[in-house]
Amino acid sequence: MKLDILFINPASRTQAYQSLGADLAAIENPVWAGLLASFCRRRGLSVDILDAEVDQLGPQQVAERVRDVDPVLTAVVVYGHQPSASTQNMTAAGQVCSAIKRDDPSRKVILIGGHVAALPERSLREEDADFVAGGEGLHTLVELVAALKASSPHYEHVSGLWHRDDAGIRSTPDRPLVANLDEDIPDQAWDLLPMARYRAHNWHCLDGRPRQPYAAIYTTLGCPYHCSFCCIQAPFRTGERAAGLRESSNSYRYWSPDHVVRQIDLLVNRYGIRNIKIADEMFVLNRKHVLGICERLIERKYDLNIWAYARIDTVKDGMLDQLRAAGFTWLALGIEAGSERVRADVDKRFHQDQVFEVVQKIRAAGINVIGNYIFGLPEDDLESMQATLDLAVELNCEFANFYSAMAYPGSPLYAQAVREGAALPKAWSGYSQHSRDCLPLPTKHLPAREVLRFRDEAFQRYFTNLRYLEMVERRFGPAMAEHVRAMTRRTLPRDLNSDSRA
């Protein structure tokens, strides 16, 4: 039988991370492609996944693989290591679409993912794809394959679809979001992925563990918060509207703790995986959900190395000891800025003393902290960015991510940037934090080039700081301190004069 859907995860690592992609960045299983494949397979479709990222296949090589498989529908999935990394992968996704259509113009291609859900009409106009999924795309794929297999395809009854006809670009209404995740998307299609080849981030294994194998899973979808720099809800918006949710409300759906731990059982027992990322935008949030997962993992006594996201104001008493006993060794905290004024402007409201208190509690529980900081938020100036760096240095977390503020499509900051005519990257790759053509937002007080320059200098200052290196050596050993020193010798070339609007 002819394959119904071939899911493509485009290769973006070299473009998005430059030299860091070779050995420092993670190589992550394509989570959303795995979930989509699982959903479609449960509805009787034959599916496969081509992970061009792990195989480092160029667009033409991907097109040749597609030709060999000859699916009814080719789905190019635009997602990254986290929701905000979707846009940076769009350049590679577009190149894959063009190569497939050059090879065979009659082949049917759909783009699906966070970026294209945020900009569905623009994506259809600009890219060599026949269709775009305007939402999360689960039902869209199943219904589209049925339409394509009909003797006379009609698309008006395919939910959440953007397509062309003789009159121009058309879109169809979406369906409400899938509600029962345990039943409808019970797993990722692990058997279709080369699980032994995925690799954890360098910092995730500072304790000296081998970085392979590795897996990322979701335990929830969506986030109830409204940070203005975040685009996580983009693929869920049309489904939220179809369900009658208020525009001011964000959906937040759960897999049950039993289901989550069954997935971890499979990863541990079938694939020998101990390094695990909980990919939820906000895992440490619902006490019942978090502790339910922890209790089940504690019973199993797996030697796990898990990391997950948390907020300063979601880490509550009674959680941390359970998290550590369950195998959570790292929590990533969205600290964002050293100025309460700057944080409040992007809907991140917590007091500075809370930051120190929570970081201290996490570390006292034996869990490492990776602090996430953003330079160039709308209210930032040189003084406030320096305050952010000073805060990071004082906290001296086991690792830190330094970001520049980006107007990611689907975020309130993007809508504001478009309204105000702010300079945006010429290419989608410019939304990558580590790309050569990276172009962050200007602030109300600083041009983009100054923000990026400050970010890169802040990275060097933090990771070459003697107090930080002494802490790493004390906690993880001399070899890991030398690893950090070697990391700081890998500078990123930047095009700092590329302040041009897309």
Predicted TM-score (pTM) of this structure: 0.94
Range of the domain at 272: 194-219+255-405+447-488
- 171 pLDDT band, cuts 50/70/90, is very high
Over the chain, what is the mean pLDDT?
A: 93
Cβ 340 vs Cβ 302: under 8 Å: no
Which carries the bigger pLDDT value, residue 476 or residue 20?
476
Q: What share of the chain is helix, strand, coil (3-state, %, to 5)?
A: 45, 15, 40
The per-residue pLDDT for range 445-490, each reduced to its tens digit, is 999 999 999 999 999 999 999 999 999 999 999 999 999 999 999 8
Q: Does some domain include residue 388?
A: yes
The residue type at 251? S
**pLDDT at 497 exceeding the cut of 80:** no
Based on the fold, state whether residues 284 and 207 are members of the same structural domain: yes
pLDDT of residue 247: 82
Q: Does some domain include residue 248?
A: no
Q: Does some domain include residue 48?
A: yes
Based on the fold, state whether residues 135 and 270 are members of the same structural domain: no
Based on the fold, state whether residues 393 and 262 are members of the same structural domain: yes
Both tokens assigned to 332:
């990533």
Based on the fold, state whether residues 347 and 208 are members of the same structural domain: yes
Based on the fold, state whether residues 116 and 202 are members of the same structural domain: no
For residue 436, give the 3-state DSSP assignment: coil
Q: Does some domain include residue 107?
A: yes
The per-residue pLDDT for range 246-292, each reduced to its tens digit, is 888 899 999 999 999 999 999 999 999 999 999 999 999 999 999 99
The residue type at 99? A
Name the nearest CA neighbour of 36 among 173, 108, 109, 141. 141
Distance, CA of 349 to CA of 267 (rounded, Å): 37
Q: Does some domain include residue 199?
A: yes
**pLDDT at 502 exceeding the cut of 60:** no
Radius of gyration for the alpha carbons in the chain, expressed in angstroms and rounded: 22
Name the nearest CA neighbour of 232 among 400, 418, 224. 224
Give the lowest-confidence range in 74-88, 238-252, 319-333: 74-88
Strand intervals (E) in 149-210: 161-165, 168-171
**pLDDT at 346 exceeding the cut of 50:** yes
Respond yes or no on whether the N-terminal peptide bond of residue 213 is cis (omega within 30° of 0): yes
Based on the fold, state whether residues 215 and 146 are members of the same structural domain: no
**pLDDT at 165 exceeding the cut of 70:** yes
End-to-end CA distance of the chain: 44
Task: Please state whether beta strands 109-113 and 73-78 pair in parallel, antiparallel, or not at all (unpaired).
Answer: parallel
Q: What is the CATH number of the domain that holds 89?
A: 3.40.50.280
Q: How many domains does the chain have?
A: 2
Based on the fold, state whether residues 208 and 148 are members of the same structural domain: no
Q: Does some domain include residue 468?
A: yes
Based on the fold, state whether residues 316 and 275 are members of the same structural domain: yes
Q: Does some domain include residue 260?
A: yes
Average pLDDT over residues 59-69: 98
Based on the fold, state whether residues 26 and 121 are members of the same structural domain: yes
Based on the fold, state whether residues 307 and 368 are members of the same structural domain: yes
Based on the fold, state whether residues 140 and 201 are members of the same structural domain: no
Q: Does some domain include residue 333?
A: yes
Based on the fold, state whether residues 131 and 163 are members of the same structural domain: yes
Q: Cα 383 vs. chain centroid, distance in angstroms?
A: 30
Residues 6 or more apart from 157 whose CB is under 8 A from it?
143, 147, 172
**Left, alpha or beta for 239 (phi > 0: left; psi -120 to 50: alpha)?**
alpha
